[in-house]
Structure 1
Amino acid sequence: MSTSQKPKLLSVLDGHKAERPPVWFMRQAGRYLPEYRAVRATEPTFIDFCLNPEKAAEVTLQPMRRFPYDAAIVFADILLIPQALGQKVWFEAGEGPKLGDLPSIESMRELTGQAGQALAAVGETLSRVRSALEPERALIGFAGAPWTVATYMIEGGSSDRSGARTFAYQNAEKLDVLIQVLVDATIDYLAMQAASGAQVLKLFESWAEGLSEPLFDRLVTKPHTAIVEGLRAKGVTTPVIGFPRGAGTLVETYARVTPVQGVALDTQASAALGQAIQKTKAIQGALDPLLLRAGGDALLARVDQLLEQWGQGPYIFNLGHGILPDTPIAHVEAVLARVTGK
């Protein structure tokens, strides 16, 4: 790949400042797009949709055709790993994910090294997208981070995570074993994604908020470190972005301790926090999805502010969380025009 074709995202994750920040949005393939809703309506269940390579590749590519994003992120879900480990997963309309009884640790442990094989459909999706994507646009694979995935597995669905945090205190040894099972499965799953064409890997720690410093170290920092080190031990050199959403000031410690190449910041991240992390690593974020939905002068002013405060270092323009389903397409277009000039 020539220098001119190397994706901006990869250059920034190498620690370089781009002439303008590369841009992509979390949940950029989703319900705010009418073409996505049309394809989604053809599959009876969300899990079936995620594991249909033809349809998942199509919705991954839809925003790339419509907008000047610098990277595509594979269409999948963070709860595919519990299914690969033998836990029933389904989605209830209007309620979100539901999970069946937690399988035994022994049965799950036997499946950890087969997570990539069990989710080979995601690899096929990646291969299809990579073959259709221009060389200068990057392809991102991802997984839910162990603590976040564990919260769903323990609680059986969405909640305020209080049950899982209580479990972490009352059943420390059991949780540590479950986290290790998820670390091992995630390494296998992400290694498969890298082999299938993913040029960047992202760990989504969607529920990092509210953790005490000792708990954050045990459930977030150490598992993320183990995953990156496990990938490197397998010979996977693909850069990793970590996203400990809601971690507050603990993000700076996370950036210093974990061997990720990029740190995604949520909407509360201060200018100073991002600049401190940029001294050693690339950062990503942190436009508020609610502001993207609201639009107007305040949106463009915030875009300009983010570009000004972080654009002098390695920075990836993104949201602090995913695009909301009722976000006007015109607002997305306005932000991308501001960032890319297109």
Structure 2
Amino acid sequence: MDDHRSMPNGTEPQKILLQTLLGKKTEQTPVWLMRQAGRYLPEYRELRAQKGGFLELCYDAEAAAEVTIQPIKRFGFDGAILFSDILIVPHAMGQKLWFEAGEGPRLAPKLLDASLASLERAPEHFEAIYATVRNVAAQLGDETTFMGFAGSPWTIATYMVNGQGSKDQAATRRFAYQDEAAFSELINAIVDNTVTYLLGQIKAGVDAVQLFDSWAGSLSPAQFEKWVIAPNADIISRLKAVHPDLPIIGFPKGAGAKLIAYASETGASAIGLDETIDPVWAHKNLPADLPLQGNLDPLALIAGGEALETSVRHILQIFEDRPHIFNLGHGILPDTPIEHVEKLLTLVRQ
């Protein structure tokens, strides 16, 4: 394994990312990147070409485990993130799921046109992911933190209601206003399935989990409280009732100043920051002992050079006195040069 981490002579490797999530300020800043297993890697593109479609790859436990581990073998990141998709949950809840080439995921029937009760559960989709987790857990080194994940209820609901992604989630926001009882029922069902799904991932071998709320930024403060904070708090409290020491990263993309309420009310162990958040503001306004994750602009990583170096050093300097995990503000983009990722790791680990 080509591992960029250096350990002092005579010491055992440690999961520094896991320690950071538990609130410890480690000597070296741990680093992983959202979507680090994916299209920017030639080995991923080769394997996907062999296996066919994206969903087929997700449900092939051996291949998905290989994809999960590919960036660890190449870069030695401190964390491995499960290769899967947030829409496994609605697929297991009974919606049909497929991916249109160049257009993204599709779900049917849309819950604008059908009732939640009409869906026929398909729990075997969860089982396929658990098999991937077991495969990865058996192969990872002792120094690598293994993270599972799920989409947060609001983001999952936007896909289930509309049948696909959208720029402003208007159809789902309208649905939530017009029929709050039906939308609450949907959110509660997603919460229940997400708890089941994450407990299964934990049992299969992950060390920590992240909740992705990719579309949290489209909501008003009152709706954010209702559809982002409350459901995530419910998931986190139910997970911690079973696993009190489990680290849970909350990532509400686009939350802005609402991160203060999110951090204080959800119970998340760490908060992921998107690239629009000023690190100075986050360090000042979020609890001093709360681990933060982020938040390099993925486009700065593509640009490289001085833009990359300046951005990385600024983030590291701001967060040098708190538990901090270096990451991007969102997922790594497919046209990211591999040599820029290598440079990023050098900068973080100097």
Please state how far the C-alpha of 1:16 moved relative to its aligned partner: 1.2
> Which whole-Å deviations, capped at 9, do the CAs of 1:4-40 have from their partners, x for residues lacking one?
4441111111111111210000000010000000001
Name the aligned partner's letter for residue 137 of structure 2.
Answer: R
Q: Is 1:202 equivalent to 2:210 in the alignment?
A: yes
Q: Is 1:11 equivalent to 2:19 in the alignment?
A: yes
User: Identity over aligned residues, as a percent?
Assistant: 46
Cα distance between partner residues in 2 of 1:236 and 1:340: 31
Cα distance between partner residues in 1 of 2:242 and 2:310: 44
> Which whole-Å deviations, capped at 9, do the CAs of 1:220-241 have from their partners, x for residues lacking one?
0000000011112334642100
> Which whole-Å deviations, capped at 9, do the CAs of 1:78-119 have from their partners, x for residues lacking one?
0011110110010010111111113632355x84xx85x541
**Superposition pairs of residues 1-342 of structure 1, within 5 angstroms:** 4-101=12-109, 102=111, 104-107=115-118, 111=121, 115=123, 118-160=125-167, 161-235=169-243, 237-275=245-283, 276-341=285-350
Please state how far the C-alpha of 1:73 moved relative to its aligned partner: 0.3
Name the aligned partner's letter for residue 260 of structure 2.
Answer: E
Cα distance between partner residues in 1 of 2:127 and 2:157: 22
Cα distance between partner residues in 2 of 1:264 and 1:215: 20
What is the SS of the residue equivalent to 1:49?
A: helix
Please state how far the C-alpha of 1:302 moved relative to its aligned partner: 0.5
Please state how far the C-alpha of 1:245 moved relative to its aligned partner: 0.2
Contact 2:88 2:125 survives alignment (8 Å):
no
Please state how far the C-alpha of 1:175 moved relative to its aligned partner: 0.8
Structure 2 unaligned segments of length 5 or more: list them. Answer: 1-10
What is the SS of the residue equivalent to 2:328?
A: coil
Name the aligned partner's letter for residue 63 of structure 1.
Answer: P
Please state how far the C-alpha of 1:271 moved relative to its aligned partner: 2.4
Cα distance between partner residues in 1 of 2:327 and 2:286: 16
Name the aligned partner's letter for residue 85 of structure 1.
Answer: M
> Which whole-Å deviations, capped at 9, do the CAs of 1:255-296 have from their partners, x for residues lacking one?
011111000000011123321324141100110001111111
Cα distance between partner residues in 1 of 2:184 and 2:127: 27
> Which whole-Å deviations, capped at 9, do the CAs of 1:161-209 have from their partners, x for residues lacking one?
1111111111211111100000000000000000111101000000011
Cα distance between partner residues in 1 of 2:88 and 2:209: 16
Please state how far the C-alpha of 1:158 moved relative to its aligned partner: 1.6
What is the SS of the residue equivalent to 2:43?
A: helix
Cα separation, partners in 2 of 1:284 and 1:278, compared to 1, 3 Å: farther
Contact 1:278 1:313 survives alignment (8 Å):
no
**TM-score, normalization: structure 1?**
0.94
Cα distance between partner residues in 1 of 2:76 and 2:281: 28
**Matched positions, count:** 335
Could you list the structure 1 runs, at least 4 aligned residues long, displaced by more than 2 angstroms after superposition. Answer: 3-6, 102-108, 232-237, 271-274
Structure 1 unaligned segments of length 5 or more: list them. Answer: none
233-242 or 176-185, larger mean C-alpha shift: 233-242
Please state how far the C-alpha of 1:46 moved relative to its aligned partner: 1.6
**TM-score, normalization: structure 2?**
0.92
Cα distance between partner residues in 1 of 2:340 and 2:233: 37
Cα distance between partner residues in 2 of 1:177 and 1:134: 42
Contact 2:289 2:322 survives alignment (8 Å):
no
Contact 1:20 1:311 survives alignment (8 Å):
no
Name the aligned partner's letter for residue 105 of structure 1.
Answer: L
Cα distance between partner residues in 1 of 2:146 and 2:32: 11
What is the SS of the residue equivalent to 2:280?
A: helix
Cα separation, partners in 2 of 1:157 and 1:44, compared to 1, 3 Å: same
Name the aligned partner's letter for residue 177 of structure 1.
Answer: E
Contact 1:252 1:273 survives alignment (8 Å):
no
RMSD (Å), alpha carbons:
1.6
Cα distance between partner residues in 2 of 1:77 and 1:307: 30
Name the aligned partner's letter for residue 104 of structure 1.
Answer: S
Contact 1:191 1:236 survives alignment (8 Å):
no
